[in-house]
Amino acid sequence: MSKENFIKGAAILGIAGLLVKILGAIYRIPLTNLIGTEGIGYYQPAYNIYNLLLVVSLSGFPTAIAKIVSEKRALQNYEGAYQVYKISLWGLFLIALVSSLFILIFAKNIVSFIGYPGSYYSMLALVPALFAVPLLSAYRGFFQGTQNMTPIAISQIIEQIFRVAVGLYLAYALVGRGLEEAAAGATFGASAGAVAALILIYLMFFLSRKSIKKEIKLSKNNRTEPLWDITKKLLYIAVPITIGASIAPLMGNMDSFIVSNRLAAIGYTVKQYTDMFGELSGTAQTLINFPQVFSTAVAMSMVPAITEAFTKKQITKLNITANAGVKMSLIIGLPCGMGLLLLAEPIIALLYPSLGPETHASSGALLEILAISVIFLTVVQAFTAILQSINKQFHPVKNLAIGLVVKVILSYILIGIPSINIRGAAISTMIAYLAVAILNWFDINNTKVRINFVQITARPLLSTAVMSIATAVSFRVFEGLLSSRNLATLSAIAVAGVVYVVCLFLTGAITKEDLELIPKGEKLQRFVRK
C-alpha cells in the first residue's frame, strides 16, 4: 500500500469515524432528554449485551479478512483473495444466525438474569442488527483488503444516520406508551442502520464484481487453499483482537449486572436502580467517550510509524515516535479530563436540561469521577498501540483482563456501601484503567522502548494547569455577569480552549515529531513555525 493511498484511506475512515462519533454523541443527548435516565436504564443494558455479541464480528474478523485479502492481492492471487471473502461471509453468516436466534429465544431470561426486566423489548429490537452486522463486517473487511475505504466510510455514515433518525423518531412516537417501549424504539434504530448499511455495501460490492472477475481472469498467480487452512489463518489473527476488544463491553455488562444486584441488596427498587444506571451510562459515560475519537486517531496513526521503525531496528526513531505518541495522547486526555471534572454539573445541565436539578447534581458527581478516567484511558490506548506495534499484542489483552477483574471486585465492594452506591461503579472504572495503564507501562519497560514520562508530561501538565485555573475563574466570572448559566458554561469552555492551545505553543509542548503523527501534519508544521 503506497503512502499516498494509506493517507487517503486513513483520512476517509478518520472523517467517517469522526462524523459517526459526533452523530452518536448528538443522538444520546436528545434521546436522554426525551426518555430520561430511567428510559436510558432500559436502553443501555440491552445495548451492552448487543455490543458484546458484536465484538466477534466487528473487531477481529474484518481486520483478519483485510490482512489476508491484502496479502493475496499483493501476490496477484486474486482468486485466493476472493476465496477468503466467500469463506468469511459464510462463517459470519453462521455467527449472525446463532447470535440473533440466541437473543430471540432467550431475551427474557437474559434481561431477568442481569436485573433489568424492563429491557426485554429493547433486546428484541436488536435481533435484526445482530443478524445484519456480521454480514456487513465481511464486506467491510474485503473492501479494506482491496484498499478501497470509500464503501466502508459511506456505509458507516449511512448506518449511523439511519440509527439516529429511526431511533429518535420511534422513541418520540412510542414515549406516550411507556418508557420501555420508547427505549425499544430507540434501540431498533441500530437494526435499521445495520440493515440500511448492509444493503448499500452489498450494492457497491455487486457493482464491483465485474472488475473483481476481470482481475481473477487476467492473473496467472491464482490458487486456492483448503477451507480449514483459510479458517485457521482467519482465527489466528481474529481471536486475540477479539479477546482484547471484548474487555470493554464485558465491563459494561458487568456494570449492568453488579449495579442491579448490589443496589437491590442495599434496598433500592428496580425503578430506582434502573434510573441510577441510566445516569451512569446515559449521561456521564456518554460524555467521557467523546475524547476517545481523537485519542483513538492518534493511537491508530502510531501503529504504522512504530511498526516500521521496529521492523527496521531503528531504535532511536522508535523511541522518538513512541514518546511523541504518548505525549499527543496526554495533550488530548489531560484537558478533556480536567475540563469535564471542573465543569461536570454545568455541562450536564447544559446538555440535558429536561432531567432537572437533582439529576444534574447526581450525574455531575458521577462525571467528576469518570473525568479522571479519560486521562488514564488515553494513556492506555497509546501504550496498547506501542505494544501491538512491537509484536507484544497479547500483553494489552492480559492487562485489560486484569483490569476487568479489578473493576468487578471494586464495583462489588463499593456499590454495596450505601454512602457510595452507584458512584462505586465510576470509581472502579477509574481505578481499573489506572491499573491497566500501569501494567502496560511495566510491559513496555521490558522492551527496547523507553518512555521518558517526566519529559513528555511536564509541558502538557503545565498547559493543563493554566487552563484549569482559567476555566474555574472564567466560569465564576461569567456566571456572575451573564443571566444564563448555560451561556456561562459555553463561555468558560471557549476560554479554556483558547488558553490551552496558546499554552501548548508557548511552552513548546507540541514539536515537529508530534505533528508528523497526523496526516498532512506538514501543513500544521508550517502554521506553527509562523
pLDDT band at residue 512, thresholds of 50, 70 and 90?
A: low
Query: Same domain for 330 and 207?
Result: no
Q: Which three cell numbers stand for residue 514?
A: 508530534
Q: Are residues 230 and 335 in the same domain?
A: no
In a domain, 279, yes or no: no
Identify whether residues 217 and 101 lie together within a single domain.
Answer: yes
Note down the domain range covering 129: 1-240
Could you tell me if residue 34 is inside a domain? yes
Asked if residue 349 and residue 202 are part of one domain, the reply reads no
Residues 236, 372 within the same domain:
no
pLDDT per position as a tens digit, 188-228: 999 999 999 999 999 998 888 888 788 778 777 777 778 88
pLDDT digits (tens, 9 = 90+) for 419-451: 999 999 999 999 999 999 999 999 988 888 888
Number of compact structural domains in the chain: 2
pLDDT at res. 507: 87
Whether 304 and 214 share a structural domain:
no
* Residues 47 and 155 grouped into a single domain: yes
The verdict on residue 219 lying in a domain is yes
Domain boundary among 218, 240, 262: 240
Residues of the chain by 3-state class (helix, strand, coil), percent to 5:
85, 0, 15
Residues 352-374 have a mean pLDDT of 89
For CA atoms 9, 12, 17, 20, the dihedral sign is negative
Segment 132-146 mean pLDDT: 85
At residue 408, does pLDDT exceed 60?
yes
pLDDT at 490: 93
CA distances from 275 to 12, 119, 122, 325, 416 (A): 39, 13, 16, 39, 17
pLDDT for the residue numbered 3: 41
Question: Residue 388: which of 218, 288, 240, 273 has the closest Cα?
Answer: 240
The pLDDT, as a whole number, for residue 282 is 75
Q: How confident is the model at residue 6 (pLDDT cuts 50, 70, 90)?
A: very low
Q: How far from 296 is each of 38, 74, 150, CA to CA, in Å? A: 31, 28, 20
54 within some domain = yes
Query: What pLDDT shows up at residue 482?
Result: 85
Residues 179 and 51 in one domain: yes
Q: DSSP state, 118? A: G
Distance of CA 17 to the CA centre of its chain: 10
What burial class does residue 412 get, using C-beta atoms within 10 Å of its C-beta: 0-12 exposed, 13-18 middle, 19+ buried? middle
Counting DSSP H helices and E strands in the chain, the numbers are 20, 0
44 and 136 assigned to the same domain? yes
pLDDT tens per residue across span 318-333: 888 888 888 888 988 9
CA gap 163, 391 in Å, rounded: 37
What is the average pLDDT value for the chain, to the nearest integer? 84
Q: Are residues 36 and 135 in the same domain?
A: yes
Let me know if residue 456 belongs to a domain: yes
Is residue 245 one of the residues assigned to a domain?
no
Looking at the fold, whether 392 and 456 belong to one and the same domain comes out as yes
End-to-end CA distance of the chain: 34
Same domain, 300 and 235: no
**pLDDT surpassing 60 at residue 521:** no
Task: Extract the C-alpha cell encoding 489.
Answer: 458554561
Give domain status of residue 266, yes or no: no
| Residue 205 covered by a domain | yes
Cell numbers standing for residue 388:
501491538
Least confident of 159-168, 258-267, 385-394, 406-415: 385-394
Share of the chain above pLDDT 70, in %: 89
**Banded pLDDT at 303 (limits 50, 70, 90):** low
Q: Give the per-residue pLDDT at 1.
A: 41
The pLDDT confidence band at residue 352, using thresholds 50, 70 and 90, is confident
Tell me, rounded to whole angstroms, the distance of Cα 386 from its chain centroid: 18
